[in-house]
Amino acid sequence: MIKPDAVASGHTGRILAMIHESGFKVAGLKQRRISLEEAQAFYAVHKARPFYTSLVRFMSEGPTVVLVLEREDAIARWRVLMGATNPANAEEGTIRKRFAESIERNAVHGSDAPETAAQEIPFFFSQAELL
């Protein structure tokens, strides 16, 4: 997912270019605004954490680009391309190093495991929408 901060800052195209240059196939893509209720449901796993309220507010503040990416070892490779959650700790050349504003406004989201992806993908995409 390309988060509202990166979309609002005009970084969507550059992030998509990095995705393509890294060998990912885009199997699903759409731009949409996530409602507060959807953000609460999507990030429910973090409900007890202190950043939950600000996270769901942030994720519903503007348009996002939701994606389904494919390639061998896609989750691990996407996490490397994203970079560390805190952009101050992210490696040069990663999305978060280049485009994130802070640990909370960190430009992109990615599933952390196949089980998470299996829950997150149908949250935004029907099977018919995937290539």
pLDDT in tens, 68-86: 999 999 999 999 999 999 9
pTM of structure: 0.95
The DSSP letter of residue 35 is P
The pLDDT of 87-103, averaged and rounded, is 97
List, by residue number, the catalytic residues. 109
pLDDT at residue 43, as a whole number: 95
Contact 35, 60 (CB under 8 A): yes
Q: Which homologous superfamily is 4-125 in?
A: Nucleoside diphosphate kinase-like domain (3.30.70.141)
| C-alpha dist (Å) from residue 46 to 7, 55, 76, 110 | 23, 9, 21, 15
pLDDT at residue 83, as a whole number: 98
CA atoms of 80 and 95, how far apart (whole Å): 9
